[in-house]
């Protein structure tokens, strides 16, 4: 990654709290995303991993303002997203591909209407012919035949549906796409087709991705850098190879040791770093470092304050009080 590349997206202290009712008149904030800061360079893929409930999907949705952020700032192409006009522009330049290709496509719309809907909303064409041409071009980008245009989503397999979803995300010529577990629902052989397509589209159209997934090997393959989240906080961020081979945060270490490696010799020799207990409920998150209740290195200090998310080596950020001691 070159240093000169400009930053396309910067997120500062992003917070997203949901109110959960705990009684007739009482409610409690669920801190789905709590003080997350990072930036993505143009043309880069940032992988976002973590276990269910860690807030990775919420980060993606909050960036696009599908949820109104509770706090913090989102800068897109150098400009803070504040007014309604900013938001409209953001929605045109930053789009999303969803996890479930079955529920994210309207069963009562034809493929060409699904892909054309964003064009309609943003009035991106002069006449019907131009609209149709653009739709066919988009279908070509994702490897769909033009004769598929008049069909309905249910006539397609999972992999093809995901292609339709990707074509829809590309419709507005975005520069940034949030990919929320786009291959998790697909079979292995189809998954590889879609991953390669993401790669090719990035080269061809100069896209930037925020790639959210729980499959670490897939994320490592597609990403330049990877961020790890735990209970609403970002705990580590580094280059893809760096984080996989030299993780610094105890949670990342354990997560990576748990990845089932498709190689019998490596898999059997692998020593897993087991975690005790379950993820605490985000409604009752522990004080200080969220991971301390399951961390073998936790001390009193970890309960008192949340460690700062700081750069310990070039481009390697980690939020842990004891990074130096643990990694000697």
Rule CB under 8 A: is residue 2 a binding residue for other proteins?
Answer: no
**310-313: strand order across its sheet:** 94-97, 176-180, 208-212, 45-49, 225-230, 233-239, 316-318, 310-313
Site string for other proteins, 236-255 (x = CB under 8 A): -----x--x---------xx
Stretch that binds other proteins, among 79-87, 265-273, 296-304, 308-316 (CB under 8 A): 265-273
Residue 217 structure tokens: 């090997």
Shorter beta-carbon distance to other proteins: residue 56 or 61: 56
Rule CB under 8 A: is residue 221 a binding residue for other proteins?
Answer: yes
Q: Pairing mode, if any, of strands 310-313 and 316-318?
A: antiparallel
Out of 160, 162, 175, 252, which residue is the one contacting other proteins (CB under 8 A)?
160
Stretch that binds other proteins, among 23-31, 83-91, 260-268, 319-327 (CB under 8 A): 260-268
Of 104, 233, 119, 91, nearest in space to 164 by CA: 104
Site string for other proteins, 9-28 (x = CB under 8 A): --------------------
Q: Are 85 and 250 in contact (CB under 8 A)?
A: no
Task: In angstroms, give the least distance from the CB of 91 to other proteins.
Answer: 31
Rg (CA), the chain: 21
Out of 274, 283, 303, 313, which residue is the one contacting other proteins (CB under 8 A)?
274
Stretch that binds other proteins, among 2-10, 14-22, 73-81, 155-163 (CB under 8 A): 155-163
Shorter beta-carbon distance to other proteins: residue 190 or 306: 190
Task: In angstroms, give the least distance from the CB of 277 to other proteins.
Answer: 8
Site string for other proteins, 181-220 (x = CB under 8 A): ------xxxxxxx-xx--x--------------x-xxx-x
Q: What angle do CA 137, 143, 146 make, to 5 degrees?
A: 55
Q: Which runs of consecutive H residues, i.e. helices, occur in the chain?
A: 56-63, 84-93, 111-121, 128-141, 158-170, 188-205, 216-222, 240-245, 250-257, 264-269, 300-304, 323-326
List, in order, residues 6 or more apart from 180 with CB less than 8 Å away: 57, 60, 61, 96, 97, 98, 99, 212
Cα-Cα-Cα-Cα dihedral sign, residues 165, 166, 170, 175: positive
Site string for other proteins, 52-91 (x = CB under 8 A): x---------------------------------------
Name the residues that contact other proteins, by CB under 8 A: 51-52, 157, 159-160, 187-193, 195-196, 199, 214, 216-218, 220-221, 241, 244, 254-255, 257-264, 266-268, 270, 272, 274-275, 278-279
């Amino acid at each position: 990654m070159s240093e000169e590349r400009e930053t396309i997206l910067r997120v500062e202290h992003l917070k997203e709290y949901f109110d959960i009712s705990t009684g007739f008149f009482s409610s409690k904030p669920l801190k789905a995303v709590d003080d997350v800061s990072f930036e993505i360079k143009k043309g880069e893929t940032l992988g976002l991993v973590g276990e269910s409930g860690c807030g990775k999907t919420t980060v993606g949705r909050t960036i696009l303002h599908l949820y109104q952020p509770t706090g913090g700032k989102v800068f897109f192409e150098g400009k803070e997203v504040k007014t309604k006009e900013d938001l409209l522009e953001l929605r045109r330049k930053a789009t999303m591909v969803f996890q479930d290709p079955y529920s994210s496509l309207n069963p009562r719309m034809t493929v060409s209407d699904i892909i054309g809907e964003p064009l309609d909303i943003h009035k991106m064409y002069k006449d019907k012919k131009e609209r149709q041409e653009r739709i066919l071009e988009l279908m070509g980008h994702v490897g769909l035949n033009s004769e598929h245009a008049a069909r309905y989503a249910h006539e397609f397999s999972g992999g093809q549906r995901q292609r339709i979803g990707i074509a829809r995300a590309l419709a507005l010529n975005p520069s940034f796409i949030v990919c929320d577990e786009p291959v998790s629902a697909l079979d292995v052989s189809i998954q590889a087709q879609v991953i390669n397509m993401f790669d090719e589209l990035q080269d061809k159209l100069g896209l930037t991705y925020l790639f959210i997934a729980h499959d670490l090997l897939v994320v490592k393959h597609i990403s330049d850098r990877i961020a790890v989240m735990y209970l609403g906080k970002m705990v580590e961020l580094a280059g893809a190879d760096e984080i996989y081979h030299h993780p610094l945060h105890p949670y990342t270490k354990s997560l990576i040791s748990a990845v089932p490696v498709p190689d019998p010799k490596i898999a059997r020799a692998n020593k897993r770093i087991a975690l005790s207990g379950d993820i605490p409920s985000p409604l009752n998150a522990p004080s200080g470092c969220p991971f301390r209740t399951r961390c073998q290195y936790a001390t009193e200090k970890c309960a008192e304050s949340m460690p700062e998310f700081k750069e310990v080596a070039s481009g390697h950020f980690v939020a842990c009080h004891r990074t130096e001691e643990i990694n000697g």
